[in-house]
Structures are given as C-alpha cells and as structure tokens.
Structure 1
Amino acid sequence: MGKNNSKLFNKNRGIPIPSNPLETVLKDKLTPDELKALPRGWQILGEVILVHIPPALQGKKALVADGLLRLYPRCRTVLETLRIAGEYRQPMVEKLAGDRTETLHKENYVVYKLDAARIMFSQGNFYERRRMGTVGKSERVVDMFAGIGYFTLPMAVHSRPEKIVAIELNPLSYHYLCENIALNKVEGIVEPILGDCREKTPVGWADRVIMGYVGRTHEYLPWGIRALKPGGILHYHETTPDRLVFERPIQNVKEAAKEQGRSAEILNTIKVKKYSPGVWHVVIDARLS
C-alpha cells in the first residue's frame, strides 16, 4: 500500500519535499489544488494498482493512472475502486490504464492468483492472514468461506495441518482457490469444495473452524459450531459497531453455542481493521466444549 503522510525536508536546504510521490511525478500537469487532492494511498496486487480517485480529480483520472504507472514500472494496470457489491462481495471497478486484470500477488511466501477486477483482496486483512499461518499444525480444519484461499493458503503453507476442508460458494473464487492450491503445492493438505457451507460443512470433525466472511456471519454460526469436536477452536469474524465491539460478537458466539448445549470460552479478541465509519471488522477466537 502506498501511504505517504509525513512531511519531509531537505536536510541541507530546509526545503519541503512533497510527502506524496504522486505530487512529484504530476507537478507539471496539475494545478496546486489538484496536487493537494491526489490520493495518498493505493493498493498493489501483483501488477495491478487499485486506487480511489477523489471527486476533484475525476476529470484527470488518466493522468493519475499514468503517474502511478511511472511510480511502479513493474505494474501494468490501474483500476479505480468504486464499491463492493453483492453476496459475493465483488469489487466494482473502472479500468484507467492497461487491460490485464488477472495477476499473481505474493505475500508472506504465499502466492495468490486472482482477477483484481472481479475478486476482492483486502490488504487490511494482512495480519490476520499471517496469524492463520501460525495455527493449525497437524489439525483438521474447516474454512467455511474460503474464497481464493485467503486464510487456507497461509495455514497450509506454514502450519501444515493434517487436512483443510476449504468451502467456497462463488464459482469464480472456487476456480482461483483450486489454482492457488496447485500454485502453492498444498494439494495433499487442502480439499476444495464448491457449494454452500450450510450443506458442505462436516459435523463433529474439525479441530479448528475459520468463519472469515463478514456481513451475515452470525447466521452461519450453528454450522461452524456443529463442525467442531469438543475442545475445538472457532475463529469467528464479524462487522460490529463501535459501541458493541466485542460485546455483540461474543454474545453471538456464546448464544449459538448454548443453543447446541455447548459452552464457548473466549480466548482472544482482535480488531482486524476499520470496516466503515463507526464499524469495525473483528475476530473472536473461542474454544467450544
């Protein structure tokens, strides 16, 4: 992610240096007000740059895209991010430069292949993906919302579980999940399954369950809890308003466990990232008796 928020100075002359590198490459092509409006952050996925263009620069999008490609010569495509839509959380984008949106993104020794124009990949979840690479050794794991392998792949590559059942409903994401399993050479660990996790999640089989979906995750808690053996661990993701952070997701987990005659011991609570104004993406780790 290209973030440049600090003000730098030339040590010899005391001359302010633009803190945003885009200002440097576009200084002769934009007005002072337009330079101030330039985006200060963007996301790089392999050879694709994703950026949000503010209203003041909507007429200069091609110039901004050209500037980003000059900053990152290895990149080939620039996409403007508009919004996320639908059950599959598909990104709505506009191509500003280039035409190849399928790319290979490497992170923490894991390779993710995806179409950045059709598949969402949140760099804000980096630390949670990395954390999943530290748990699950020799365990049986169910990833109920596997996507392209966001959490499955780091766990398979680094922790080497006995087996991961990776379930995905979106056919396009499932396609890339299968490709990524092969690219990372974890075919002996990960079993990809296309379908609804309410129908495909095994019962009483797992040592660990990942519920990495946000939005309506609480609706799927009965299946996640039912999958766990006694003593198994649940990683439950939820988007929660500030005033209910951790209270509501903990309550959801405990109530869903109680409905099955089980109890949940809360092991960990994590703020993953700010999801929207006043809303956090959080994770609750719980052990189910």
Structure 2
Amino acid sequence: MRAVIVSREEAEKVRQKLLFEGALDKTRRLVKKSGLIEIPVKESFAKEGLTLVEQEEPRFYIPKKTPGDYLDILDIPDSERELLPAGWQILGDIIIVSLHEKLENQKAEIGKALLSLYPGCRTVLLDRGISGQMRQPEREVIAGRSTETIHIENGCSFKIDAMKLMYSKGNLAERKRMSGLGEGETVVDMFAGIGYFSIPMAVHSKPKKIFAIEINPVASGYLKENIKLNRVEDVIEPVEGDCAVVTPHGIADRVIMGYLDAHEYLKHGIRALSPGGIIHYHEAVPEAIERRPVERISAEAEKQGRDAKIINMRRIKKYSPGVWHVVVDARVD
C-alpha cells in the first residue's frame, strides 16, 4: 500500500493538500518512522516532487460504528431503530446530532451512546435547526455539560460555544481555498463570525491587513479570542458593528461576503473595493435562478459606475431541496 514520506515539519501541510486533492487514503493512519512521517495515499496517486514508498506496516482506522451498536440494551422497537441518525458532526470535543421526533424520549440514552463511541468527546448537543437573522442554533445538551470547545481545522484553532454559534463543516473546501488567497493584500471580511475565513487567511496567506466585521456580540467576542489564539493580532483588526455602517470605502484588494442572505449589503461590499479588487459573494439560490448572484453583482457595480468581470461561480453545498449555496468571484474595476 502506497504512502508519501515527508518530514515531521512538512507533514500537516502535505496531508491537508492531499486531502484537498482527494488523494489521501482515509482508511489508514499516519505512521511515524525513523523521524519521518508516512502519509497514506490512494493507489492511483502519482506526483512529481513527493517521495512514494510501499508501507511495510500500514495502520488502519477502526471502522465507524453507529449508535445502534450501543443501543442493544435499550427498549427501542425495530421500527424506531431505523430512525437512528446515520451521521453527526464533531466540533472539537462536542458531538452535534439531529434526531427524529419519535426518538426524543430516548435522547439521553442516545447521547450516552455517542459519548461511548467517542471517548475523547465530552458533550452531546441535540440540534433543532437555526433561527433569526444571525442564524443562531436551537440546541439542547443531552449528555455532558460544557458547550465551549476549541476546534482544530487546516492548522487553525477556533474557540466557539457550540450552543450559541454555528460552524458549518460543509464549507471546509471553501475555507481552505480562501486560506491560499490574499498575500500582501488589504482584505475586508464582512460577516466575519468567529473568523471562519479571516483566521485561515491570516495564518496561511499573510495578508497586509484584514478588517473582520461582525455584528453579533457573542461571535465578535470569540473572533477576538481566536485572533489571539492563532497569534494574528498584527494582521486582523476586529470591527464590531453593522456592515452597512462600518464597512470602509475604497481600501480593499479583496472583500469576503460569506453570509448567505447579504444581497442588501452588496453595495457596501463593492464600495469597499479599490479598482481591480476582487469580491467573493455567497448566496443561497434556487437552481431555477442560479445566475441571480452574478446578475446582482453586475447590476450593483453598474449602479456605482463600475464594471464587474465574473471570474468564477461555484456550488459549495446543497442548502435545502432545490437550493444551493454558491459563491461568485468577481473583479470590479
């Protein structure tokens, strides 16, 4: 079985790149050997510049189990066992799970079962969706106590209270993409949250300056903590307030608009750009009118006497039936 062999210092960077490219073999563990690290890759992988070896002693992950494996002692009818969740989210040491309403009376037992699956986790939250303009989660502790955690992703640390704030792991590829942009630039991150885009960009790309704007005081508090946690105080300037009021004008080489219902703020995002700057505009849009974000950017740029050139439009993930989370990259002259 094949593996890429690298130094310990290079290991995480190479692993993240292989993961992003779909070349990482997720069934095997990394192996430390003679001061080097063997990173398992798929058999079809071949790339110049990396040293490939045949692993003598591959180490495999234990196959993933389900709550059903730990619920045999419970009095749950077979018809309800079929309603058990097929998956859940792990954020730091917190498990977040959604349950069918018919299983609500078994939530405490299911929470304990999930903690049995993951000894490194300490709390299980029952997720009931999101509400409000600030997309606040509706959650309940069903096992454990503490809801604050530190989640590690792409070489960055994110402190968050999972009871009060959202963290979408479905946006991982986009966050990784953005972490490779912005070197030497002035960036405005509107709707910055806890630093979902600002932190990876500051850690990996070294922009000149990032103005990270967030109106939610809870999220803003964690944004400030995460800036210190990742030691990027010299790069990120947190700004607490409404993007319609505090977004600066004409200074940005790049603007990030990561909130999915931000079309009313688009004028402020474009106004923040210096000539030739790039905007990354996110929107939840029905398939039938998927070009709507492109049309909105072009129309708003024209209102301001500017010209928008669309660079790219990508689907990030399914938002709801018939609706996609998309992001449009555009250069505005």
Contact preservation (8 Å) 1:20, 1:40: no
Which residue number corresponds to residue 230 of structure 1? 275
Which residue number corresponds to residue 11 of structure 1? none
Contact preservation (8 Å) 2:88, 2:98: yes
Which residue number corresponds to residue 160 of structure 1? 206
Which residue number corresponds to residue 104 of structure 1? 150
Q: Distance in 1 between matches of 2:216 and 2:141?
A: 23
| Distance apart, 1:19 and its partner CA | 7.7
Q: Distance in 2 between matches of 1:37 and 1:169?
A: 38
Q: Distance in 1 between matches of 2:64 and 2:151?
A: 27
2:299 paired residue among 226, 235, 255: 255
Aligned pairs (5 A) from 1:263-282: 263-282=307-326
Structure 2 residue 117 is the aligned partner of structure 1 residue 71: yes
Q: Could you list the per-position Cα deviations for residues 102-136 of structure 1 after superposition, in whole angstroms to 9, with x for gaps in the alignment?
A: 11001111100010000111111111111110100
Q: Distance in 2 between matches of 1:174 and 1:23?
A: 39
Which residue number corresponds to residue 37 of structure 1? 83
Contact preservation (8 Å) 1:27, 1:35: no
SS in 1 for 2:82: helix
SS in 2 for 1:238: strand
Structure 2 residue 79 is the aligned partner of structure 1 residue 21: no
| Distance apart, 1:184 and its partner CA | 0.3
| Distance apart, 1:35 and its partner CA | 2.3
| Distance apart, 1:147 and its partner CA | 0.5
SS in 2 for 1:37: coil
Q: Distance in 1 between matches of 2:100 and 2:286?
A: 26
Which residue number corresponds to residue 46 of structure 2? none
1:119 paired residue among 136, 149, 165: 165
Q: Could you list the per-position Cα deviations for residues 18-76 of structure 1 after superposition, in whole angstroms to 9, with x for gaps in the alignment?
A: 98522212133233223221101101111111100112311111111111000011111
Structure 2: gaps spanning 5 or more residues: 1-62
Aligned pairs (5 A) from 1:136-147: 136-147=182-193
- State the one-letter code of the partner of 1:104: I
Which residue number corresponds to residue 265 of structure 2? 220
Q: Could you list the per-position Cα deviations for residues 209-264 of structure 1 after superposition, in whole angstroms to 9, with x for gaps in the alignment?
A: 0000112x11001110011111100000001011112x101001100100001111
Q: Which runs of 4+ in 1 moved over 4 A?
A: none
Which residue number corresponds to residue 256 of structure 2? 210
Q: Distance in 2 between matches of 1:139 and 1:103?
A: 31
Q: Distance in 2 between matches of 1:160 and 1:33?
A: 54
Q: Percent identity?
A: 53
1:240 paired residue among 269, 273, 285: 285
Q: Distance in 1 between matches of 2:323 and 2:147?
A: 30
Contact preservation (8 Å) 2:65, 2:117: no
Q: Distance in 2 between matches of 1:284 and 1:168?
A: 21
The two structures, once aligned, show a CA RMSD in angstroms of: 1.2
| Distance apart, 1:99 and its partner CA | 1.3
- State the one-letter code of the partner of 2:70: V
Q: Could you list the per-position Cα deviations for residues 178-213 of structure 1 after superposition, in whole angstroms to 9, with x for gaps in the alignment?
A: 000000000000000111111111111000000001
